[in-house]
Structure 1
Amino acid sequence: MGGDGTRDTSGGDGVRVFMALPAPEAADRDPFGQCLADVVRVLGLGVAREPGTDDPVWGHRVRAALREACERESAFPQEAFEVLLGAAVNDSNPSFNRWFVEAALNGFGRGRVRSRLIGYLRTGTDAERAGAARAWYWTALPLDHPQLRAAGPAGDRPEPDNGSVGVREWHEAALREFVDNEHLDVRRCILPGLPLRPSAYPAELHPLVDKAIAIARSHPDEYLRHRVEHQVRG
């Protein structure tokens, strides 16, 4: 599966292709530009925004500078944690948001990143909830930038990396959110990473799995109807 919500699954008779995740619905205010400015400021990336540059072009420049910074020996200030996760959550591109998540993972640890995304899912705006679900996919990346660290006492990463940290908590919160929150972007972004088998949840949540499947199957949105059938069969 890619960050855009697509995946080719080889089967005995051929290949199944998932629909790409649709673009988010238009928002009254897009905070991504400010998030990019905060990343540049806090990490000292030295990327000036030229007048008239739109957010997609500006975003590509900031991501490129961030990738270069991640290849160097770097000590991220503690303030970088929130600005990196804020950029990841507000980046509507489900592939390019990877670079903000990867920097945060390597600088601050998987457990801290996942805990913050769970917080966005539970208490954020609908746009932030959808963004947290898009960003969550990349939290499974390996930590392969040992030169990155957080400045200060927290930089020693007190806990060893654990690939399963927060996963069960995320799945349970995501299942509840999918069922209870009717916002289309939230449901679209949550569904691709949502297990739809009762065995993935405690017994008291099993009825919600059936309800989530029923919601997706009967939803007027083509993407949700398409995804749920592939996930139930898979």
Structure 2
Amino acid sequence: MDEQDDVTTFMALPAPEAADGAPFDRCLADVVQVLGLDAVRQPGTDDGLWGHRVRQALREACERDTAFPEESFEVLLRAAVYDANPSFNRWFVEAALNAFGRGRVRSRLIGYLQAGTGAERAGAARAWYWTALSLDHPRLRAVSPAGDRQEPDDDAVGVREWHEAALREFVANEDPDVRRCILPGLPLRPSAFPAELHPLVEEAVAIARSHPDEYLRHRVEHQVRG
């Protein structure tokens, strides 16, 4: 077999339909204010450049001996959820993971997936990908004892709950943005779920295969074969 036959090329995740950047701008402003970052927006600064400055300032804060206040937990998670870029949202997730712990971050994202707006459900699925990052910022901590990371880090915490919630959401939610964001992280093997959810796995595969959206049709075939 030619080596090129082993290479799987995935389509890029499409940008959200009719994306509104205003909520993310407010999230950036909240991150700057709550964490006291040196990233105040100057008049005339375009959205992309300001977002880059905020993320850079946040990364620098994570490298210092920094204590994040309790209110920063929700501020960081909202920024991660509303950041439409599935790569750059990493920095908000990583900061929250290191300050507040994997279990708390994953639990909150599950809450967004189950009870958020359409944009929040899609954003939670994009952000979830980064919750598997290793915790590499030991100097970063939370001020509140309730938010401090005391429990041993567990890579598996919340994964089963996420997969089951994501499967139900994929089948029930007809929003194409939500389905596109959920599918890459959704195992499509019945063995990954309890027996009572096996019919939903089959339904999810059928929905993706017959969907008018090219990304869903492309992605499901790679995942079913994998």
**Runs of 5+ consecutive residues of structure 2 not aligned to the other structure:** none
Which of the residues 155, 178, 199 maps onto 1:186? 178
Matched, 1:93 2:90: no
User: What is the CA distance between 1:29 and its match in structure 2?
Assistant: 6.3
Q: What is the aligned residue count?
A: 225
Q: Is the 8 A contact 2:99 2:148 kept in 1?
A: no
Matched, 1:205 2:197: yes
**Taking structure 1 as reference, are residues 183 and 39 closer, same or farther at Cα in structure 2, changes over 3 Å only?**
same
RMSD over aligned CA atoms reads: 1.4
Alignment of 1:38-57 (within 5 A): 38-57=30-49
What secondary structure, in the 3-state scheme, does the structure 2 residue paired with 1:35 have? helix
CA distance in 2: counterparts of 1:28 and 1:62, whole angstroms: 19
What secondary structure, in the 3-state scheme, does the structure 2 residue paired with 1:17 have? coil
What secondary structure, in the 3-state scheme, does the structure 1 residue paired with 2:8 have? strand
- Residues 14-44 of structure 1 show CA distances to partners (whole Å, capped at 9, x for unaligned) of 3110001000111456300000000000000
One-letter amino acid of the structure 1 residue matched with residue 162 of structure 2: W
User: What is the CA distance between 1:55 and its match in structure 2?
Assistant: 2.0
Matched, 1:58 2:58: no
Q: Is the 8 A contact 1:42 1:80 kept in 2?
A: yes
Which of the residues 153, 167, 173 maps onto 2:165? 173
- Residues 31-60 of structure 1 show CA distances to partners (whole Å, capped at 9, x for unaligned) of 000000000000000211011223221110
User: What is the CA distance between 1:157 and its match in structure 2?
Assistant: 2.0
One-letter amino acid of the structure 1 residue matched with residue 190 of structure 2: P
CA distance in 2: counterparts of 1:52 and 1:35, whole angstroms: 19
CA distance in 2: counterparts of 1:199 and 1:11, whole angstroms: 30
User: What is the CA distance between 1:124 and its match in structure 2?
Assistant: 0.2
CA distance in 1: counterparts of 2:101 and 2:7, whole angstroms: 36
Using structure 1 for the length normalisation, give the TM-score.
0.93
Alignment of 1:120-139 (within 5 A): 120-139=112-131
CA distance in 2: counterparts of 1:76 and 1:156, whole angstroms: 10
Q: Is the 8 A contact 2:122 2:177 kept in 1?
A: yes
What secondary structure, in the 3-state scheme, does the structure 2 residue paired with 1:75 have? strand
What secondary structure, in the 3-state scheme, does the structure 2 residue paired with 1:154 have? coil
User: What is the CA distance between 1:11 and its match in structure 2?
Assistant: 6.8
CA distance in 2: counterparts of 1:124 and 1:207, whole angstroms: 25
CA distance in 2: counterparts of 1:156 and 1:80, whole angstroms: 12
- Identity value in percent: 80
**Taking structure 1 as reference, are residues 100 and 178 closer, same or farther at Cα in structure 2, changes over 3 Å only?**
same
Q: Is the 8 A contact 1:71 1:145 kept in 2?
A: yes
Q: Is the 8 A contact 2:101 2:148 kept in 1?
A: no
Which of the residues 105, 120, 127 maps onto 1:113? 105
One-letter amino acid of the structure 2 residue matched with residue 215 of structure 1: I
